[in-house]
Structure 1
Amino acid sequence: MGLRAQVRTRDGWAVQHAVVTVTDMTGTQVLRAAADEDGTVRTDGSLAAGAYTVIVTAVGYAPAASTALVTASGRIEGGQIVLARQGGVELPPPGVWSLDPAHSSVGAVAQHLGISSVHGRFTDFSGRIDIAEDVSRSRVDAVIRAAGIDTGNAMRDKHLRSADFLDVDRYPEISYSSTALVPAGPDRWTVHGELTMHGVSRPVALDLSYLGTGPDPWGGVRAAFHATAELRRDDFAMNYNQVVQAGISAIGTTLRVELDVQAVQGDVPAMQ
């Protein structure tokens, strides 16, 4: 066997579309092979004894190169070759990931009376993440039921559901669809997308951190993310702004959105 190797990400996932090229010391290509669905590369035949350069490439990943010394066995045992995402950042392996509402939270924080903060959350939402082979083409889509707002105060929640704010009878859903995904640093991304709320659509960028991937107790695989964004209420035609004294508003005009998300690998039906 001329070459055997496994191509993986830092998290240990197979890079199914990797290509391994072997050249001799003159730069002449002597072997080229693609990884299978398990990220494994195998070739038949044997190589002449000597030194070779092994180059591994894959779309969306930084290429890796190493030197291999072939002895009388005539083969290269490449072992596990780890590829890093282009730009030094990682995401879960390509495919569909379904948001798990039971282990995720969608929260918002607004200033109250200019001296403290009111924390709220939405209790009813669903979403899907599509990780593409070319990570920049990945997508995020989510829907939030506006009536699910919960700030821990029934009177305040009723007001937030009214026409002064979310107007949930006319606009029952808040939706977000991404348009681009751009690396912003190690394990960080900027998600550009469009948020539709209160009947108004505006571009909104999410500052996204990827926290890692691993198995869960139910036999599935999960990925975790944290994201933040800042919104202005008046951008979405929510202009209610009671002034209580000396120009101080009861509720601030800026909202800080905080998302803690677990996504399950696969197209999992939304919970009813």
Structure 2
Amino acid sequence: MAASNWVLDKSHSGINFSVRHMMITNVRGSFNEFDAVVLADSDNLSALEASLSINVDSINTKDDGRDGHLKSPDFFNVEQFPQIVFKKTSLEAKGGEDYKLTGDITIAGVTKSITLNTEIAGPAKDPWGNSKFGVVADGIINRSDFGLTYNAALETGGILIGDAIKIHIELEFAQG
């Protein structure tokens, strides 16, 4: 079968993250606006071509003040760098639905390679006969690798914001 376009089903997709706060708990957040472009053969999803773009201005940590700070030059600098972009460079089958997804991610103008533990399920037909597949990807990036180094020392020792950002992505696609 020839490769075809797959369209992101945004109502069944999400991009979430968490970061250590004050060395005692995690702050969780999400990006509400994103899009993905996928070209794949439904018989060979491991050969898919994929990219993901995230509107940084759509960050949501359930705290308007924190979200505003994250959009500022202290962190993402949304005015200068409005998008986070990920482009797949390789996808290694690990058996069953498990893969290692590697790609280049650009955050705040800095591009680095990252590898995400990934599950690809499907394709499967929905009740209306549409072919769909799902992707779940998890990984950790260090924000300092992308120049996001703002922090504050705590009176009791340690730092306000951890460097490791845990990423959790769930995407569903329909054959276009």
TM-score, normalized by length of structure 1? 0.60
What is residue 118 of structure 1 aligned with on the other side?
27
The residue number in structure 2 matching 1:102 is: 11
1:222 aligns with 2:132: yes
Percent identity for Structure 1 against Structure 2? 28
Provide the rounded CA distance (Å) in 2 between the counterparts of 1:168 and 1:155: 15
Aligned to 1:158: 68
Partner of 1:241: 151
Q: Which has the higher contact order (CA 8 A, sep 6+)?
A: 2
Kindly provide the amino acid, as one letter, of the partner of residue 225 in structure 1: V
Tell me how far 1:254 sits from its aligned partner: 0.5
Match runs of 1:245-260 below 5 Å: 245-260=155-170
Whichever structure has more strand as a proportion of its residues is 2
* Equivalent runs, 1:205-220 vs 2, <5 Å: 205-216=115-126, 220=130
1:143 corresponds to which residue?
53
TM-score (norm 2): 0.91
What does 1:36-75 align with in structure 2 at a 5 Å threshold?
none
CA apart distance, 1:142: 0.8
Distance 1:220 1:186 in 2: 23
Any unmatched runs of 5+ in structure 1? Answer: 1-15, 17-92, 267-272
Q: Distance in 2 between matches of 1:223 and 1:199?
A: 31
Q: C-alpha offsets along residues 130-188 of structure 1, whole Å, 9 cap, x if unaligned? A: 22466554211011001000011111111111111111000001100011111122211
Counterpart of 1:262 (choices 159, 172, 175) is: 172
Q: Distance in 2 between matches of 1:201 and 1:157?
A: 23
CA distance in 2, matches of 1:139, 1:190: 14
Residue deviations 1:169-212, cap 9 Å, x none? 00001100011111122211111110001010000112110233
Contact 1:144 1:175 in 2 (8 A): yes
Provide the secondary structure at the position in 2 that maps to 1:243. coil
